[in-house]
Amino acid sequence: MAVDIPLVIQNEILCRLPIKSLIRFTSVSKQWKSFIHSSEFNFNFMVRQAHRKCLITAVDDVDVENVDVVDDNFRKQCLSGEERWPGCLIVDDDDTFPKRKVCLTYPRSLNQLKNTYLEFHGSSLGLLCFSANHIDEDDTFIRCVIWNPSIRKSIAIETPYYPNVKIAFGVCPKSLDPKIVKINMFDVPYGLSYDEQRRVWRVEVFTLNSRVWRSPFVKIPSKWFDINFYEQTPPLVINGFIYWLRYASIHYTDRNADGRSYMIISFDLATEEFMKIHVPDELAHSSFDIFKLGESVAISESSPRDCKVWLMDHVTKSFTELYSIKLPEPMTKLGCTDNNQLIIIDYPSGELVAYDPDSKHLINLGIYVDCFTASFTSYTESLLLLDQSNTLNDDEGL
Protein backbone atom coordinates (compact mmCIF):
# COMPACT_ATOMS: atom_id res chain seq x y z
CA MET A 1 0.00 0.00 0.00
CA ALA A 2 1.05 3.58 -0.47
CA VAL A 3 3.52 4.44 2.31
CA ASP A 4 2.56 8.14 2.32
CA ILE A 5 -1.09 7.47 3.13
CA PRO A 6 -1.84 6.49 6.75
CA LEU A 7 -3.24 2.97 7.16
CA VAL A 8 -6.40 4.33 8.78
CA ILE A 9 -7.14 6.47 5.73
CA GLN A 10 -6.44 3.56 3.37
CA ASN A 11 -8.86 1.42 5.34
CA GLU A 12 -11.57 4.10 5.13
CA ILE A 13 -11.10 4.39 1.37
CA LEU A 14 -11.16 0.67 0.69
CA CYS A 15 -14.24 0.08 2.88
CA ARG A 16 -16.24 2.39 0.62
CA LEU A 17 -15.30 0.65 -2.64
CA PRO A 18 -17.48 -1.86 -4.53
CA ILE A 19 -16.77 -5.53 -3.91
CA LYS A 20 -15.68 -6.17 -7.50
CA SER A 21 -12.98 -3.51 -7.15
CA LEU A 22 -11.74 -5.02 -3.89
CA ILE A 23 -11.47 -8.46 -5.47
CA ARG A 24 -9.34 -7.03 -8.27
CA PHE A 25 -7.16 -5.21 -5.73
CA THR A 26 -6.23 -8.53 -4.08
CA SER A 27 -4.09 -9.16 -7.18
CA VAL A 28 -2.08 -5.95 -6.72
CA SER A 29 0.23 -7.31 -4.03
CA LYS A 30 0.46 -9.87 -1.23
CA GLN A 31 0.12 -7.07 1.31
CA TRP A 32 -3.15 -5.82 -0.20
CA LYS A 33 -4.47 -9.38 -0.47
CA SER A 34 -3.66 -10.13 3.17
CA PHE A 35 -5.24 -6.87 4.32
CA ILE A 36 -8.47 -7.29 2.32
CA HIS A 37 -8.79 -10.92 3.47
CA SER A 38 -8.35 -10.05 7.15
CA SER A 39 -11.24 -10.41 9.61
CA GLU A 40 -10.77 -6.84 10.79
CA PHE A 41 -11.23 -5.45 7.27
CA ASN A 42 -14.21 -7.73 6.68
CA PHE A 43 -15.90 -6.39 9.80
CA ASN A 44 -15.16 -2.74 8.93
CA PHE A 45 -16.38 -3.30 5.38
CA MET A 46 -19.72 -4.67 6.59
CA VAL A 47 -20.17 -1.71 8.93
CA ARG A 48 -19.51 0.76 6.11
CA GLN A 49 -21.64 -1.16 3.61
CA ALA A 50 -24.60 -1.46 5.98
CA HIS A 51 -27.14 -0.35 3.37
CA ARG A 52 -29.64 -3.17 3.49
CA LYS A 53 -31.05 -5.24 0.70
CA CYS A 54 -34.06 -7.51 0.77
CA LEU A 55 -33.67 -11.06 -0.39
CA ILE A 56 -36.58 -12.99 -1.87
CA THR A 57 -35.99 -16.67 -2.62
CA ALA A 58 -37.93 -19.27 -4.60
CA VAL A 59 -39.16 -16.80 -7.21
CA ASP A 60 -41.62 -18.55 -9.53
CA ASP A 61 -42.36 -15.91 -12.16
CA VAL A 62 -39.58 -13.53 -13.19
CA ASP A 63 -39.93 -11.28 -16.24
CA VAL A 64 -36.28 -10.75 -17.16
CA GLU A 65 -37.20 -7.67 -19.18
CA ASN A 66 -38.36 -5.94 -15.97
CA VAL A 67 -35.32 -6.94 -13.91
CA ASP A 68 -32.41 -4.52 -13.71
CA VAL A 69 -29.62 -7.09 -13.39
CA VAL A 70 -29.86 -10.72 -14.53
CA ASP A 71 -26.83 -12.99 -14.41
CA ASP A 72 -25.92 -14.80 -17.63
CA ASN A 73 -26.68 -18.27 -16.25
CA PHE A 74 -30.23 -17.31 -15.29
CA ARG A 75 -30.90 -15.63 -18.64
CA LYS A 76 -29.63 -18.67 -20.56
CA GLN A 77 -31.84 -21.01 -18.54
CA CYS A 78 -34.86 -18.78 -19.13
CA LEU A 79 -34.26 -18.76 -22.89
CA SER A 80 -33.48 -22.47 -23.18
CA GLY A 81 -36.42 -23.58 -21.07
CA GLU A 82 -34.26 -26.23 -19.36
CA GLU A 83 -35.31 -27.61 -15.99
CA ARG A 84 -33.97 -25.53 -13.15
CA TRP A 85 -34.73 -24.28 -9.69
CA PRO A 86 -36.44 -20.90 -9.44
CA GLY A 87 -34.24 -17.84 -9.29
CA CYS A 88 -33.09 -15.74 -6.37
CA LEU A 89 -34.28 -12.15 -6.44
CA ILE A 90 -32.57 -9.34 -4.50
CA VAL A 91 -34.46 -6.07 -4.15
CA ASP A 92 -32.94 -2.83 -2.85
CA ASP A 93 -34.48 -1.76 0.44
CA ASP A 94 -34.45 2.01 0.02
CA ASP A 95 -36.67 4.79 -1.32
CA THR A 96 -36.85 3.02 -4.71
CA PHE A 97 -38.23 -0.23 -3.23
CA PRO A 98 -39.04 -2.46 -5.05
CA LYS A 99 -37.95 -0.92 -8.36
CA ARG A 100 -34.35 -2.17 -8.66
CA LYS A 101 -34.26 -5.96 -8.90
CA VAL A 102 -31.27 -8.25 -9.26
CA CYS A 103 -31.96 -11.85 -10.31
CA LEU A 104 -29.40 -14.61 -9.74
CA THR A 105 -29.29 -18.36 -10.23
CA TYR A 106 -28.50 -20.52 -7.25
CA PRO A 107 -24.85 -21.62 -6.94
CA ARG A 108 -23.65 -24.50 -9.10
CA SER A 109 -23.00 -26.63 -6.02
CA LEU A 110 -26.79 -26.74 -5.57
CA ASN A 111 -27.77 -26.92 -9.23
CA GLN A 112 -25.64 -30.06 -9.59
CA LEU A 113 -28.30 -31.91 -7.54
CA LYS A 114 -31.32 -32.66 -9.70
CA ASN A 115 -34.87 -33.48 -8.63
CA THR A 116 -34.28 -32.57 -5.01
CA TYR A 117 -36.10 -30.32 -2.57
CA LEU A 118 -34.28 -27.07 -1.87
CA GLU A 119 -34.54 -25.56 1.61
CA PHE A 120 -33.38 -22.09 2.70
CA HIS A 121 -31.89 -21.74 6.19
CA GLY A 122 -31.26 -18.04 6.57
CA SER A 123 -29.05 -15.07 5.80
CA SER A 124 -26.28 -13.85 8.08
CA LEU A 125 -23.58 -11.20 7.51
CA GLY A 126 -23.72 -11.50 3.74
CA LEU A 127 -23.88 -15.29 3.58
CA LEU A 128 -26.85 -17.47 2.66
CA CYS A 129 -27.32 -21.13 3.52
CA PHE A 130 -29.31 -23.73 1.58
CA SER A 131 -29.58 -27.49 1.75
CA ALA A 132 -30.80 -30.24 -0.56
CA ASN A 133 -31.28 -33.94 0.06
CA HIS A 134 -29.60 -36.35 -2.35
CA ILE A 135 -31.31 -39.73 -2.16
CA ASP A 136 -30.71 -42.64 -4.54
CA GLU A 137 -29.69 -46.28 -4.50
CA ASP A 138 -25.96 -45.53 -4.60
CA ASP A 139 -25.63 -42.68 -2.13
CA THR A 140 -27.74 -40.68 0.31
CA PHE A 141 -26.64 -37.43 1.92
CA ILE A 142 -27.59 -33.85 2.76
CA ARG A 143 -25.64 -31.15 0.95
CA CYS A 144 -25.46 -27.84 2.77
CA VAL A 145 -24.22 -24.90 0.72
CA ILE A 146 -22.97 -21.62 2.16
CA TRP A 147 -23.13 -18.95 -0.54
CA ASN A 148 -21.94 -15.37 -0.83
CA PRO A 149 -23.87 -13.94 -3.81
CA SER A 150 -21.87 -10.68 -3.66
CA ILE A 151 -18.63 -12.41 -4.66
CA ARG A 152 -20.39 -15.37 -6.39
CA LYS A 153 -18.60 -18.01 -4.33
CA SER A 154 -19.98 -20.97 -2.43
CA ILE A 155 -18.78 -23.91 -0.38
CA ALA A 156 -20.56 -27.26 -0.02
CA ILE A 157 -20.65 -29.39 3.12
CA GLU A 158 -22.09 -32.90 3.01
CA THR A 159 -23.51 -34.76 5.99
CA PRO A 160 -25.41 -38.08 6.41
CA TYR A 161 -29.12 -38.00 5.64
CA TYR A 162 -31.72 -38.47 8.38
CA PRO A 163 -35.50 -38.20 7.83
CA ASN A 164 -36.17 -35.70 10.63
CA VAL A 165 -33.03 -33.57 10.51
CA LYS A 166 -33.45 -29.80 10.95
CA ILE A 167 -30.81 -27.28 9.92
CA ALA A 168 -30.12 -23.65 10.81
CA PHE A 169 -27.32 -21.27 9.91
CA GLY A 170 -25.64 -18.13 11.22
CA VAL A 171 -22.31 -16.31 11.37
CA CYS A 172 -20.86 -15.69 14.82
CA PRO A 173 -20.46 -11.87 14.98
CA LYS A 174 -17.45 -12.12 17.30
CA SER A 175 -15.33 -14.54 15.28
CA LEU A 176 -17.00 -14.12 11.84
CA ASP A 177 -17.03 -17.92 11.73
CA PRO A 178 -20.03 -19.36 9.80
CA LYS A 179 -21.84 -22.12 11.71
CA ILE A 180 -24.40 -24.73 10.66
CA VAL A 181 -26.57 -26.16 13.43
CA LYS A 182 -28.01 -29.63 12.74
CA ILE A 183 -30.64 -31.21 14.97
CA ASN A 184 -31.40 -34.89 14.40
CA MET A 185 -34.69 -35.99 15.94
CA PHE A 186 -35.33 -39.64 16.78
CA ASP A 187 -38.46 -41.26 18.21
CA VAL A 188 -37.48 -44.10 20.54
CA PRO A 189 -39.79 -46.48 22.47
CA TYR A 190 -40.16 -45.53 26.11
CA GLY A 191 -43.02 -47.81 27.13
CA LEU A 192 -45.00 -50.68 25.67
CA SER A 193 -47.43 -48.68 23.57
CA TYR A 194 -46.91 -46.48 20.51
CA ASP A 195 -48.09 -43.42 22.46
CA GLU A 196 -45.29 -43.89 24.98
CA GLN A 197 -42.49 -43.03 22.58
CA ARG A 198 -40.03 -40.31 23.51
CA ARG A 199 -38.18 -37.99 21.19
CA VAL A 200 -34.41 -37.65 21.39
CA TRP A 201 -32.43 -34.68 20.07
CA ARG A 202 -28.88 -35.02 18.84
CA VAL A 203 -27.37 -31.61 18.11
CA GLU A 204 -24.23 -31.05 16.04
CA VAL A 205 -22.52 -27.81 15.06
CA PHE A 206 -20.32 -27.34 12.00
CA THR A 207 -17.89 -24.40 11.98
CA LEU A 208 -16.31 -23.39 8.70
CA ASN A 209 -12.96 -22.56 10.32
CA SER A 210 -12.61 -26.05 11.82
CA ARG A 211 -14.37 -27.97 8.97
CA VAL A 212 -15.71 -30.55 11.45
CA TRP A 213 -19.05 -31.45 13.05
CA ARG A 214 -19.14 -31.59 16.86
CA SER A 215 -21.66 -31.58 19.67
CA PRO A 216 -22.13 -28.24 21.47
CA PHE A 217 -20.82 -27.95 25.00
CA VAL A 218 -24.21 -27.05 26.48
CA LYS A 219 -26.58 -29.94 27.17
CA ILE A 220 -30.21 -29.57 26.09
CA PRO A 221 -32.78 -30.15 28.89
CA SER A 222 -34.47 -33.54 28.43
CA LYS A 223 -37.89 -31.94 28.87
CA TRP A 224 -37.32 -30.12 25.55
CA PHE A 225 -37.34 -33.35 23.58
CA ASP A 226 -41.09 -33.14 22.99
CA ILE A 227 -40.69 -29.77 21.27
CA ASN A 228 -41.36 -30.03 17.53
CA PHE A 229 -40.32 -27.86 14.61
CA TYR A 230 -42.80 -25.61 12.87
CA GLU A 231 -42.22 -26.74 9.30
CA GLN A 232 -43.23 -23.66 7.30
CA THR A 233 -41.18 -21.09 9.23
CA PRO A 234 -37.46 -20.67 8.38
CA PRO A 235 -35.23 -19.60 11.29
CA LEU A 236 -34.27 -15.97 11.83
CA VAL A 237 -30.68 -14.80 12.43
CA ILE A 238 -30.46 -11.54 14.38
CA ASN A 239 -27.61 -10.05 16.44
CA GLY A 240 -25.74 -13.33 16.79
CA PHE A 241 -28.79 -15.46 17.66
CA ILE A 242 -30.78 -18.01 15.67
CA TYR A 243 -34.53 -18.03 16.41
CA TRP A 244 -36.90 -20.91 15.60
CA LEU A 245 -40.66 -21.11 15.96
CA ARG A 246 -41.50 -24.31 17.86
CA TYR A 247 -44.45 -26.02 19.44
CA ALA A 248 -44.93 -28.64 22.15
CA SER A 249 -47.76 -31.14 22.28
CA ILE A 250 -50.34 -30.70 25.03
CA HIS A 251 -52.54 -33.40 26.52
CA TYR A 252 -55.94 -33.17 24.87
CA THR A 253 -57.63 -33.40 28.28
CA ASP A 254 -57.03 -29.65 28.45
CA ARG A 255 -60.16 -28.46 26.68
CA ASN A 256 -58.92 -24.86 26.47
CA ALA A 257 -55.90 -25.82 24.38
CA ASP A 258 -55.74 -26.75 20.71
CA GLY A 259 -53.21 -29.50 21.33
CA ARG A 260 -50.11 -27.34 20.94
CA SER A 261 -48.19 -24.80 22.96
CA TYR A 262 -46.18 -22.35 20.82
CA MET A 263 -42.86 -20.75 21.73
CA ILE A 264 -39.55 -19.52 20.29
CA ILE A 265 -36.23 -21.30 20.78
CA SER A 266 -32.98 -19.32 20.43
CA PHE A 267 -29.39 -20.44 19.87
CA ASP A 268 -26.47 -18.18 20.81
CA LEU A 269 -23.87 -18.47 18.03
CA ALA A 270 -21.09 -17.39 20.39
CA THR A 271 -21.81 -19.48 23.52
CA GLU A 272 -23.80 -22.20 21.69
CA GLU A 273 -26.49 -22.11 24.37
CA PHE A 274 -30.17 -22.82 23.72
CA MET A 275 -32.92 -20.77 25.38
CA LYS A 276 -36.69 -21.02 25.45
CA ILE A 277 -38.51 -17.70 24.86
CA HIS A 278 -42.12 -17.39 25.92
CA VAL A 279 -44.53 -15.46 23.72
CA PRO A 280 -47.53 -13.34 24.81
CA ASP A 281 -50.38 -15.36 26.32
CA GLU A 282 -52.62 -14.46 23.36
CA LEU A 283 -50.35 -16.46 21.05
CA ALA A 284 -49.30 -19.28 23.38
CA HIS A 285 -51.92 -21.70 21.98
CA SER A 286 -52.30 -20.48 18.42
CA SER A 287 -49.98 -20.39 15.42
CA PHE A 288 -48.23 -17.13 14.63
CA ASP A 289 -45.84 -15.64 12.09
CA ILE A 290 -42.28 -14.80 13.11
CA PHE A 291 -40.25 -12.29 11.09
CA LYS A 292 -37.49 -9.72 11.35
CA LEU A 293 -38.35 -6.08 11.99
CA GLY A 294 -35.27 -3.88 12.05
CA GLU A 295 -32.81 -5.77 14.25
CA SER A 296 -35.47 -7.42 16.41
CA VAL A 297 -37.83 -10.39 16.34
CA ALA A 298 -41.46 -9.56 15.55
CA ILE A 299 -44.45 -11.88 15.79
CA SER A 300 -48.12 -11.67 14.88
CA GLU A 301 -51.13 -13.96 14.66
CA SER A 302 -51.12 -16.11 11.53
CA SER A 303 -54.73 -16.31 10.42
CA PRO A 304 -56.96 -13.41 11.61
CA ARG A 305 -57.45 -10.38 9.42
CA ASP A 306 -57.31 -8.14 12.47
CA CYS A 307 -54.10 -8.97 14.31
CA LYS A 308 -51.48 -7.39 16.54
CA VAL A 309 -47.75 -7.15 15.99
CA TRP A 310 -45.38 -7.62 18.95
CA LEU A 311 -41.69 -6.69 19.07
CA MET A 312 -39.15 -8.55 21.21
CA ASP A 313 -36.61 -6.77 23.40
CA HIS A 314 -33.20 -8.24 22.55
CA VAL A 315 -31.95 -8.07 26.17
CA THR A 316 -34.96 -9.10 28.26
CA LYS A 317 -36.48 -11.40 25.58
CA SER A 318 -39.90 -9.96 26.44
CA PHE A 319 -42.51 -8.76 23.94
CA THR A 320 -44.24 -5.38 23.65
CA GLU A 321 -47.25 -4.74 21.47
CA LEU A 322 -46.23 -2.49 18.58
CA TYR A 323 -49.40 -1.91 16.56
CA SER A 324 -52.50 -3.61 15.19
CA ILE A 325 -53.10 -4.26 11.51
CA LYS A 326 -56.28 -4.89 9.53
CA LEU A 327 -55.86 -7.00 6.41
CA PRO A 328 -58.49 -7.59 3.71
CA GLU A 329 -57.95 -11.34 4.17
CA PRO A 330 -55.69 -13.68 6.17
CA MET A 331 -52.12 -13.46 4.85
CA THR A 332 -48.73 -14.79 5.92
CA LYS A 333 -46.21 -12.17 7.04
CA LEU A 334 -42.72 -12.84 5.66
CA GLY A 335 -40.70 -9.84 6.76
CA CYS A 336 -40.43 -6.09 7.04
CA THR A 337 -38.65 -3.35 5.09
CA ASP A 338 -36.58 -0.53 6.60
CA ASN A 339 -39.61 1.76 6.54
CA ASN A 340 -41.70 -0.80 8.46
CA GLN A 341 -43.76 -2.04 5.52
CA LEU A 342 -44.84 -5.65 6.08
CA ILE A 343 -44.13 -8.05 3.21
CA ILE A 344 -47.04 -10.46 2.86
CA ILE A 345 -47.96 -13.33 0.50
CA ASP A 346 -51.29 -12.96 -1.25
CA TYR A 347 -52.90 -16.40 -1.54
CA PRO A 348 -53.46 -18.20 -3.83
CA SER A 349 -51.69 -16.08 -6.47
CA GLY A 350 -48.36 -16.08 -4.62
CA GLU A 351 -47.82 -12.36 -5.30
CA LEU A 352 -45.84 -10.41 -2.72
CA VAL A 353 -47.68 -7.46 -1.21
CA ALA A 354 -46.35 -4.64 0.97
CA TYR A 355 -48.61 -3.39 3.78
CA ASP A 356 -48.05 0.16 5.05
CA PRO A 357 -49.21 0.34 8.71
CA ASP A 358 -49.45 4.15 8.54
CA SER A 359 -51.60 4.52 5.41
CA LYS A 360 -53.27 1.09 5.88
CA HIS A 361 -52.74 0.46 2.15
CA LEU A 362 -51.58 -2.68 0.34
CA ILE A 363 -49.05 -2.29 -2.49
CA ASN A 364 -48.69 -5.04 -5.09
CA LEU A 365 -44.99 -5.63 -5.81
CA GLY A 366 -45.36 -7.61 -9.02
CA ILE A 367 -43.20 -10.44 -7.65
CA TYR A 368 -44.53 -14.01 -7.55
CA VAL A 369 -43.11 -16.64 -5.21
CA ASP A 370 -43.74 -20.19 -4.08
CA CYS A 371 -46.32 -19.88 -1.28
CA PHE A 372 -44.76 -22.76 0.65
CA THR A 373 -41.02 -22.09 0.31
CA ALA A 374 -40.83 -18.30 -0.07
CA SER A 375 -38.72 -16.31 2.36
CA PHE A 376 -37.86 -12.67 2.79
CA THR A 377 -34.90 -11.51 4.84
CA SER A 378 -32.45 -8.64 5.14
CA TYR A 379 -29.13 -8.89 3.37
CA THR A 380 -25.88 -6.92 3.62
CA GLU A 381 -22.90 -7.34 1.29
CA SER A 382 -19.71 -8.86 2.73
CA LEU A 383 -16.40 -10.41 1.67
CA LEU A 384 -16.78 -13.57 3.73
CA LEU A 385 -15.62 -16.74 1.89
CA LEU A 386 -13.16 -14.72 -0.19
CA ASP A 387 -10.18 -16.31 1.60
CA GLN A 388 -11.71 -19.75 2.14
CA SER A 389 -10.24 -22.78 0.41
CA ASN A 390 -12.41 -25.35 -1.41
CA THR A 391 -14.85 -22.68 -2.58
CA LEU A 392 -16.63 -22.93 -5.93
CA ASN A 393 -16.52 -19.85 -8.13
CA ASP A 394 -20.01 -19.48 -9.62
CA ASP A 395 -19.05 -16.56 -11.83
CA GLU A 396 -15.64 -16.95 -13.45
CA GLY A 397 -16.11 -13.63 -15.22
CA LEU A 398 -16.25 -11.63 -11.99
User: In sequence order, which residues have a C-beta less than 8 Å from that of residue 316 and are 6 or more positions away?
Assistant: none
Do 161 and 287 have their domain in common? Answer: yes
Is 338 found in the same domain as 248?
yes
Contact 86, 50 (CB under 8 A): no
> Could you tell me if residue 82 is inside a domain?
yes
> Across the chain, what does the average pLDDT equal?
77
Residue 398 lies in a domain: no
Beta bridge partners of 202: 184
**Quick one: pLDDT at residue 67?**
54
Let me know whether 261 and 386 are in one domain.
Answer: yes
pLDDT of residue 133: 83
Q: What is the CATH number of the domain that holds 351?
A: 2.120.10.80
Do 36 and 80 have their domain in common? no
Strand (E) or helix (H) holding 33: helix 30-37
Start-to-end Cα distance in the chain: 23
Q: In which band, very low, low, confident or very high, does the pLDDT at 192 lie, cut at 50, 70 and 90?
A: very low
Q: Which of 359, 360, 313, 308 is nearest to 333 (CA)?
A: 308
Q: What percent of the chain has pLDDT over 70?
A: 71
Sign of the dihedral through C-alpha 73, 79, 82, 83: positive
**Together in a domain, 32 and 143:** no
Task: Give the contacts of 352 (CB within 8 A, at least 6 positions apart).
Answer: 56, 334, 343, 344, 345, 346, 365, 367, 368, 369, 374, 376
Question: Do 21 and 73 belong together in one domain?
Answer: no
Has residue 191 got a pLDDT over 80?
Answer: no
224/278 same-domain check:
yes
CA–CA separation, 214 vs 231, rounded Å? 25
Q: Are residues 369 and 331 in the same domain?
A: yes
Tell me how far apart the alpha carbons of residues 69 and 158 are, in angstroms, rounded to a whole number: 31
For residue range 51-108, list pLDDT tens digits in order.
Answer: 556 666 655 445 555 555 555 555 555 555 554 445 667 777 766 666 666 777 777 7
In a shared domain, residues 132 and 167: yes
Contacts of residues 251-256 at CB distance under 8 Å and 24 or more positions apart, as own/partner, are 256/285
The parent domain of residue 139 ranges over: 51-393
Please answer whether residues 295 and 236 qualify as being in contact, where contact means their C-beta atoms are separated by less than 8 angstroms: no
Three-state SS letters, 34-67? HHHHCHHHHHHHHHHCCCCEEEEEEEEECCHHHC
Question: Reading across the β-sheet that carries 127-135, which strands appear in turn?
Answer: 118-124, 127-135, 140-148, 153-160, 392-393
Are residues 301 and 273 in contact, defined by beta-carbon separation less than 8 angstroms? no
Q: How do residues 126-156 score in pLDDT, each as one tens digit?
A: 899 988 887 777 778 888 999 998 888 899 9
Number of domains the chain is built from: 2
114 pLDDT band, cuts 50/70/90, is: low
Q: Which of 232, 268, 269, 229 is nearest to 249 (CA)?
A: 229
> Half-sphere exposure (CA, 13 Å, Cβ side) for 98?
25
- Is pLDDT of 270 > 90? yes
Same domain, 74 and 12: no
Asked if 393 contacts 153 with a C-beta cutoff of 8 angstroms, the reply is yes
Stated as kind and residue range, the H or E segment containing 8 is helix 7-15
Across the range 192-214, mean pLDDT stands at 77
Query: Region 233-254: what's the mean pLDDT?
Result: 73
319 or 367, which is more confident? 319
- For residue 206, pLDDT beyond 60: yes
Same domain, 34 and 166: no
Per the domain annotation, does 288 fall within a domain?
yes
Kindly state whether residues 14 and 92 are assigned to the same domain. Answer: no
What's the pTM value of the predicted model, to 2 decimals? Answer: 0.83
- For residue 253, how many C-alpha atoms fall within 13 Å in the half-sphere facing its CB? 1
